[in-house]
Structure 1
């Protein structure tokens, strides 16, 4: 794990993607090289964040994991907004939510369940996170219903989208205060207490200053590689006859969330399923309650507001993912078969999106 996330390999993959971009290689070759580079950079970003989290503490560390884990996704989406590819932006947001709830969580439960028969985590955290995801689904459904039934106009839809986006950001900030300050102990996981008792069991591989430096370096690299990747998407999509919906919801989402994928699975295999659930569900919450609303405001300040109206297919996919994830995690215990069920639903949605 340490070898493929080494700074030297990170620089090599980044340099190769830069050469491919500035020397104008074939668009498909550029896409593949940039995609590989994003995976490496995102993985390194996740490792640096994990190291910083060790010095910052469990709760703040969890927030940093979610925030920097979604950095690649947010930066890619901002460049997509700049290019006016709103449909692909919404598809990538959809893909991130269902990818975290079905692929990341499912793979974590499956991998952890193969090693440990039953794994337990904080049932209160699971219940509250699931309820908050339902709130996010409602917030996405309301503008779509009002616009599609012609109760409001397109301009009124933009205004409603900005109001909904602002409300969701406030709800997310309130959730951070609730989970990290006022009810920190109430939502603490058993493994957190064990880690506090054994502070040197999982020592970080870098010093605090080096961890922060690598975190900043990886974030800057993500910004550059993301811009190069976005520049190849249209050609790649047309050449292979893929829909923007599939590319955004699955390819971009999987590439952009590489850090969460690896971190959550590795934690589950260390019997830290609570941390895995928090990464997967917490990342989905951040996408729905913070990243998506921020992109609405970014588009507004760029002069052309992207509404928060998702397609029926996207809304159904998000609702299905939230429903099955909440059903499986609500009892506070998991096993490998529950992980398999989540993966089955993800495959079904993937095939359906591919055929659109």
Structure 2
């Protein structure tokens, strides 16, 4: 009795064609799915011959994406109510609107939600997918996310990350460590010697880079940070508030005396995110301490209303809207990326190499 070979009878895949033609999956996709990107004539012939030999049938969905027929892009953020992500979204929407493209915004707060959101987004055939600051770079879902996006790019789509260079896809990023060193140097030069630090989750890449920059400067200045004065949590107002309230319970705040002068408490708060800093200032007031006058406070990001709180927040300016626009531009442009697509390289699209420190009232000189 004959035994059927299921593998031999299964339809040829795009990967099979690419292997037969000895080209990248991306090149095979451009030829077979009708991409507008150019392919060398020699590669074109090799792909067509391989497709004929293997009796390859193009995927209708892949053709639609490669030709850019889906008039929208997808933007995934972890919290649309956060002004940080709202600013990035503003830039994405602006760049898309200039080209008559719509933007679908999705929210994913966990690695699992992010992976599922990407899978659902791919099924809608968008022109591209932008993931804004994927926080969980060490999560088990990371490899599955990379695989999903690699296949999506191989079919002609484009994936871009904002503030995340940990995966092999185009990224729009800033020099977090440079900005962090600048704000820490300002703290030291302004006469503060006992800072508290509010940082993000340990899996948060941006937070780790900012913390490293801050600690480098403090170490150089001979400043030791009390372990009780280091708090981690989500980049949120709620967690910034909770962290400072915990410090108050630990005796690091001395209401009525002025923490700078009691010799034991903190004299400043370095928050690695603006909304954490704003939450921290609210907690200081709840403990009878005036931000800026008794304890200096700094943030990171320069979100729109950081200048409107009282006292106005000293922070590191990040061009958030411009970064969103750069991410959208990279998806909607028609430039030829040659062989560098399909998840084969981490292309850095835009970097603010030297973030500016914006000095405001929350950090007076001592």
Identify the TM-score tier after normalising by the shorter chain. under 0.3
- Higher radius of gyration, 1 or 2: 2
Write 1 or 2 for the structure with the bigger share of strand. Answer: 2
Write 1 or 2 for the structure with the bigger share of helix. Answer: 1
TM-score, normalised to structure 2's length?
A: 0.25
TM-score, normalised to structure 1's length?
A: 0.26
Name which structure has the greater RCO, CA cutoff 8 Å, separation 6+.
1
